[in-house]
Chain A
Amino acid sequence: MTPTSAIEPDRKTATPHKLTELPKAPTGISGLDEVTGGGLPRGRPTLVCGPAGCGKTLLAMEFLVRGITQYQEPGVFVAFEETTEDLVANVASLGFDLRKFEAEGQLVLEHINVASGDIEDTGDWDLDGLFIRLGAALDTSGAKRIVIDTIETLFGGFTNTATLRSELQRLFGWLKSRGVTAVITAERGDGTLTRHGIEEYVSDCVIVLDHRVTEQTSTRRLRILKYRGSLHGTNEYPFLIGENGVSVLPITSPGLRHSVSANRVSTGVARLDSMLGGGGYYQGSTVLVSGTAGTGKSTLAAQFCHAACSRGERAMFFAFEESEAEILRNMASVGVDLRPWVDQGLLKFQCFRPNLLGLEGHLFSMQKWLTEFDPAVIVKDPVSDLLRIGSPADVSAMLSRQVDFLKAKGVTALFTSLNSGADSVVSAEQITSLVDTWLEVKTLEGNGELNRVLYVLKSRGMAHSNQIREFLLTDQGIELADVYVGPQGVLTGSARQAQEAQEDADGALRREDLEQRQSNLERRRETVEAQAAALWREFDDEADVVKRLLNVGSDRVEDRAGQRAEQGRLRRADTDEAGDLAHNGAS
């Protein structure tokens, strides 16, 4: 008697070569297909249960709508609780135009009113009326998917629950035989999954939704309790109902398979770029700037945005502590004028307290904004504020999902983190393993003053400087100065200036000394040259005298020889004696 029709053909034909894998019907719901390993079991019923207001109806409706819009699978929505008018109105806010799908023949909305209580039970009955209605709805639309929301309402309409239960069991068997992928919703019972134990009949896949409030922030969670014949994520996954429907956020990311870029993005501080091996951060990397209060983290972040906008790129600034006006004013005071970028639409601020949204809402909204604005760089200032709305483990899980998202999009992100007091490294440890570059800004106390220093704690894949730099906030933005390392340790601030002055003074002294020596030498050279000149003059004089004397001497010898020759001639001496005479003359 039961209206039956042929089992969906692809259920049997699709399996032969892949016996191990269960055919699945993708839900199209963001994240849910990842968690379920591809979707809900095709051609079988899935139970979605949870307390009132946890989003069962919306999840189920989106399953149908995505089936129509993305997978060409028409659907039937059987509503036991809401009228079709209410349904249409309720999901219109998600952008689902049910009336349009109805008009196109892709969707059948079937409201079934279960009259309460006073139906007299006069004997044997079955639910063939329901079967016929469902069968007709499935046939008219050629539906591959069906949602029954919420079937337990039937328990209010019938007093003979034994018959009802056996009929429900028959219903699920019938749905299977029709080969439609069904989603059955049910209210959570007291200590049981569902109020009337429906889970006994729907055993292929059970999804539990939950709605918890912790620290005044509500979080929706989804868990795959059971998925017969399939691997599935076993965690509780946060999910959201946003403007575009349900989003399940798998905590474990699908895998680290981002494409990476070797391009560098300037930090906005030239000296810092060179500290990072020249060029700045890697494009698409995640940077953490940690530090205690008032160390200039936000300024570093603002300058990073400033640099990006100067290159004509879009930047998005998420601020959890200051308003846009405050940031603009404060940054202008240190010479970082962001207003032109805001006016040009290159820079966008999103300023809100983190507890406005909750962790999941936060992640979701950010992803939405990022998708809409499509910035090249983003800043979150500070991520440590998120710890107010979740445990460190939750925050780090959320951030890791966010980092994955950013990396997949190639967005360079700068997170600042406020360290509380002395345990600077410990408090950030949940985050630091996620980031590629970690800069630490801290204050050093000495000589009665606090001075900021910056150093690179880690920077994956670049030859970064190991030097500490003094971090100065000037009227022209951030400047990094070398610090002096002396016997007393690192010198900053006035001590550095004193050291600088001291070295200047020492230098001047040395210079004077040198000049003195140089002029002394010059004078000495002049003296030496003068003395040398005098000596030469003496020498020349002597040489002249000697020369003269020599000339005089030779004249005399010639004279004497002449005289002797004269005398000899006069005495008639023979010429032989001449040699003798010459000899004598020479002696």
Chain B
Amino acid sequence: MTTVGIVSYGAYIPRYRIRVGEIARVWNDDGEKVSRGLGVYEKSVPAMDEDTVTISVEAARTALENAGINPQDIGAVYVGSESHPYAVKPSATIVAEAIYATPDLTAADLEFACKAGTAGIQMCMGLVKAGYIKYGLAIGADTSQGKPGDALEYTASAGGAAYIIGRDKLIAEIKDTYSFTTDTPDFWRREGQEYPEHGQRFTGEPAYFRHVVSASKKIMERNKLKPEDFDHVVFHQPNGKFPKIAAKKLGFSDDQLNTGLLTPLIGNTYSGSSPLGLAAVLDEAKANQLILLTSYGSGAGSDSFIIKTTKGIEKRKNVRPVRQLVNRKEYIDYAIYAKFKGKIKGVALER
């Protein structure tokens, strides 16, 4: 069986942050209570000249810098997001041009709520393993919009991570991938609508937990592995609570979860969520460590991956570690947040 895995990765989180308490102030909610309930304290906000494409390019460029490969050898670029700047015209081609992977490659944009990024990783794995391409680039990035006054406004944030998938020079091998997919309408956005809608408590058990737990259980079973065998686990993290509950349900400890849990400080980066969590883990991981990654996308599905780090991971370090990105920040208030996020009528970077 041909090995396939991660050659390198890169992450990007915008510099601005807004505290949950500041958002709560506007809606007369109890900020502390909200923070405790969600397990989220602040979230990242993109600048007015940033979007899913610019975030993807930054993450991809970092991944390339870490890889030291010729971008012309990238045979596929997939950008997974639910906030692509164009409804028609792929983000992937702009990214491909920006990193000089054009013109000999395939590209497409993906949408599967928060798991579009990991879906892209699977697609790259297929093309690489089948021998069609040497390297594939999969990106999960978002600048998700939260409806003002809605619970999701506290967590919808911006960020992304990029993965270069290949056959050799791997820092981590992807041993297996398995997905659990059903038609579950827990969270959606109709074409032309500005903000998504969701089924509130329905987004829990029948949605997030069913898919994350099922996918994780099945992939461990078929690989004859138990939670104790893993050094790290990364789940999709819509808030700071759900991943902890999933970990408990499956039998993982907080220690295994904590390295990859970023949402309390940067919010839910949607398609960037589990890819960024994985990047944070890879930043710290040692050689020959086992990682379980299970993403979740509403609509619904989970992609699960068993990842084993190689000796190579200790030699090729990430030039822009995720924790540094998390810690470099500037706080803004709700007015500036509304201005940056285009929530004020007539305010946009337009001519």
Q: Do chains A and B interact in one complex?
A: no
